[in-house]
Amino acid sequence: MFFDEIPFLGDPNGGIARYTVELQRVLHRSGVATYGCIMGSSHLFGGRRPSEDGEWMQLPGWLRRSSMIRIFLRRAFFLKLRFCRGKDLKLVYHSTGIGSDPWIARQADVHIHTIHDLIPEKNGTAQTLKASNAIFQRKMSLETAKGILWVSQRTKKDFRWFYPRNKLPGRVVPHGRPGPVRRGILPDSKHFLVVGKRGGYKNIEAVYHALSLFPKSKKRPLLRVIGGGKPSDEEENLWGSLGIRNLVHWSEATEEEMPEHYRRAYGLCYPSRWEGFGFPALEAMTYGCPVIYAKKSGVEDLVGKAGCALSEITAPKLYGAMRKFFVFRHARSQAILAGYKEASKFKWDTTARATLSFYEFLLKRS
């Protein structure tokens, strides 16, 4: 099994990078020999990294902008594996980022591509150069791929919509949860949560407007914003104009600190319409936090009744959902218990078994 470093070029601590590391680890525990490249060390998630006894080439972070050097080192490492391990070794190239290496894809016995979301395609007429390049990279990956993995039914449906002529075999294989389900309900909630990136399609501005609708004459909830980069001047000016500057608190948080943030929250505000999977929502359910999310996104596939689904992402709709968990303790408790039930279905071992089964299926076809 060969992975490349491409997933770590975007958000090194994001869901795609985590998927790559965790999938490799559980595959290795299943007896699959794993190899590949990693970029720097910022994506190692609290000390977790690709298995120590696999062969991994760690590329220094400064090569992030030196694509030609990275390509040369990646291909040289792949060639070393191919010639040193012999032809008996079946090398499956699993590209988990939005792009892949076409040369390695042709040299490998099988190339499998994971699709996490169709966000670049959904930008439509508002295409940026970055989105257009992402679509080009995706199309190049699909030309050499022998099979596709989708992380949710929504991602599969979106893919079939945007690429109706693509007839590659594929399977829906969701992520696993971040750890064991934390049972129990903490009564002393303190805040709502926003986790991760906040720009564009994430619709986080609607959360700020919803928070401003809570009556000033009564107790108002706090909003803890975690990660996603420091607030911009525009964000802070918006907080000031809405009168919520003293209610919103931004910070970074380690992986070890996140369970407590979730458990102390009234709910996770996750109004993005374009998520392919939504790892923060799965984290929230695992640690006892209701989820407020948008219908017709990948989040709907995994949350179900463990939260509040909104057909429209507007400040009044979000306010109503936030107020439900803020005022009615029973509603929050019900959502938490439903979340524990849903989260228990998502295990990395299950992800690994389904992925390995797909590898074997494609190798037999080839």
Q: Give every CB contact of residue 32 below 8 A, 6+ residues apart in sequence.
A: 1, 356
So where are the chain's domains? 2-176+347-365, 191-343
Enter the tokens of residue 267. 């709910």
The predicted pLDDT at position 326 comes to 93
pLDDT for 52 beyond 80:
no
Angle between helices 315-327 and 329-343 (to 10 degrees): 100
Neighbours of 159 (CB within 10 A): 22
Q: Give the least confident one: 183-187, 256-260, 358-362.
A: 183-187
pLDDT mean across residues, the chain: 87
18 touches 255 (CB < 8 A): no
Question: Which of 299, 9, 312 lies closest to 174 in space, CA to CA?
Answer: 299
Write b or e for each residue in 167-186: b if 16 or more Cβ atoms lie within 10 A of its Cβ, otherwise e.
eeebebbbbbbbeebbeeee
Burial label for 34, CB within 10 Å (0-12, 13-18, 19+), is buried
Lowest model confidence (mean pLDDT) among 56-65, 96-105, 201-210, 313-322? 56-65
pLDDT-derived band at 187, boundaries 50, 70, 90: low
pLDDT tens per residue across span 133-179: 889 999 999 999 999 999 999 999 999 999 999 999 999 999 999 88
Provide the 8-state DSSP code for 13.
Answer: T
Mean pLDDT within 105-110: 93
Comparing 2-176+347-365 with 191-343, is the CATH topology the same? yes
Confidence at 109, pLDDT banded by 50, 70, 90: very high
pLDDT attached to residue 53? 47
Yes or no: say if 97 and 6 are a contact pair by the CB < 8 Å rule. yes
Which residue do the tokens 């002393």 mark?
188
Using only C-alpha atoms, the chain has a radius of gyration, in whole angstroms, of: 21
Instruction: Give the angle 265-224-346 at the CA atoms, nearest 5°.
Output: 50
DSSP labels for 289-325?
A: --EEEETTSHHHHHHTTSEEEESS--HHHHHHHHHHH
Chain centroid, CA 163 distance in Å: 22
Q: What is the 3-state secondary structure (H, E, C) of 167-191?
A: CCCEEECCCCCCCCCCCCCCCCCCE
pLDDT at 313: 92
Decide: helix, strand or coil at residue 207.
helix
- Residue 276, pLDDT above cutoff 80: yes
| CATH superfamily, region 2-176+347-365 | Glycogen Phosphorylase B; (3.40.50.2000)
Mean pLDDT of 206-212: 96
245 SS3 class: coil
Determine what percent of the chain is predicted with pLDDT higher than 90. 56
Rounded CA-CA distance 67/59 in Å is: 11
In CATH, the number for domain 191-343 is: 3.40.50.2000
How many percent of the chain have pLDDT more than 70?
A: 93
For the CA atoms of 205, 253, 281, 37, the dihedral, rounded to the nearest 10 degrees, stands at: 110
Show the tokens assigned to 73.
């080192």
